[in-house]
Amino acid sequence: MSNSTFSEIAQALREHASFIIMSHVRPDGDAIGSQLALGHALEEMGKTVYYYNEDGLPENLAFLPHSERITQPQGEVLDVDVAIALDCANKPRLGDNALKAASQAKLWINMDHHKSNPGYGDLNYIDSGSPATGQILYDFITAEGLPLSEVTRDAIYVAVSTDTGSFQYSGTTVATYEMAADLVRRGLNVGEINAKTYDSHPYRRVELTRRLLNTLVMAEDGRIADWQLVYATKEELQLKPEDSEGLIDMIRAIEGVEVAVFFEELKDGTIRVSMRSKNPSIDVCEVAKLFGGGGHTLAAGIRAEGTLDGIRDAVLAELRKRVDAC
């Protein structure tokens, strides 16, 4: 797979009239922010845009301007020219209903920063050196002179801020800080947007943290930390999928921890695994791929069939091998 150029992608956008923009299931800030950023640029160009996400808009991102336009597909098929997939490592991760909604599109555009992305679009732009899809879109929009409205500005900031752990992770580059400076120059209100992103958690998230801490296990001399969430607790606390977003950073941040893992039972009986590494020679994406997942070297995930204990044993065994080897 080789990338298309920004100008080839911009040309395709200019030549078509209607678009469905999608991102991955259980969307995070980069997924929703990227959809809104590019979608609003297209709207400013006079295009018709549908914003679809298989799981709809998470409550914690509903403060983003224009986010009310994010629709959860119900089995309909849209009559659109182009399908755009953002921040989504593979096509199935868009979700069945979203794929159905996009099934009549004549052209697929895929822009992403996951290194496991095979390039499933007709036009692809995959840059695993970029810490967020939102940063790729900033580069694209500014390079091609596309409209950068206030909606797009705020959406890009939240996309990049959330995927870089508030501009902290090692993937954060000079270009990231220069981008942030430019967004502030364009009028972004840093205090307000960060408060809405990080200081507005529902109380149940604290209760969830308490439960997770009770399950914390430190292994391999404190180099691997994991915690888990069973479905019964989710029901009891009336949790939403986004309530656990970012909590893994708490155990990732423990001194001496090289790998942090979060195991979660989903309603359909499958297990979601979220992994973080602090050591570039422990590639959690490689471990994720063994179980059908993917992601980045230092942050990856899996969704697998099985029991929580069974998946946990298997994933921790693979991680132990890698931790022991370095």
Residues contributing to the site for ligand 5GP (CB under 6 A)? 24, 89-90, 93, 114, 116, 274, 293-296, 299-303
Output 76 or 96, the one with its CB closest to ligand 5GP: 96
Least Cβ distance, residue 93 to ligand 5GP (angstroms): 6
Which among ligand 5GP, Mn ion, none contacts residue 295 (Cβ within 5 to 8 A by kind)?
ligand 5GP
**Within 16-128, where are the H helices?**
29-44, 96-101
- Residue 4: phi and psi, rounded to 5, are -75, 165
SS3 of residue 44 by DSSP? helix
C-alpha atoms less than 13 angstroms from C-alpha of 63 in its C-beta half-sphere: 14
Residue number of the CB closest to Mn ion reads: 30
Considering only the stretches 87-95, 123-131, 188-196, 264-272, report the one whose residues sit in contact with Mn ion under the rule CB under 5 A: 87-95
Task: Find the binding residues for Mn ion in span 150-189 (CB under 5 A).
Answer: 163
Output 28 or 258, the one with its CB closest to Mn ion: 28
Least Cβ distance, residue 101 to ligand 5GP (angstroms): 20
Question: How far is residue 275's CA from residue 322's CA, in Å, rounded to a whole number?
Answer: 14
Pairing of strands 107-112, 123-126: parallel
Output 153 or 322, the one with its CB closest to ligand 5GP: 322
Which among ligand 5GP, Mn ion, none contacts residue 274 (Cβ within 5 to 8 A by kind)?
ligand 5GP
* Contact yes or no for 211/229 (Cβ under 8 A): yes
Percent helix, strand, coil in the chain, to 5, is 45, 20, 40
Which among Mn ion, ligand 5GP, none contacts residue 116 (Cβ within 5 to 8 A by kind)?
ligand 5GP
Which among ligand 5GP, Mn ion, none contacts residue 223 (Cβ within 5 to 8 A by kind)?
none
Residue 28 as a binder of Mn ion (CB under 5 A): the answer is: yes
CB atoms within 10 A of CB 145: 8
Output 73 or 171, the one with its CB closest to Mn ion: 171
Residue number of the CB closest to ligand 5GP reads: 301
CB burial of residue 97 (10 Å; 0-12, 13-18, 19+): middle
* The dihedral formed by the CA atoms of 157, 202, 96 and 11, expressed in degrees to the nearest 10: -10
Least Cβ distance, residue 313 to Mn ion (angstroms): 27
The residues binding Mn ion (CB under 5 A) are 28, 30-31, 87, 133, 163
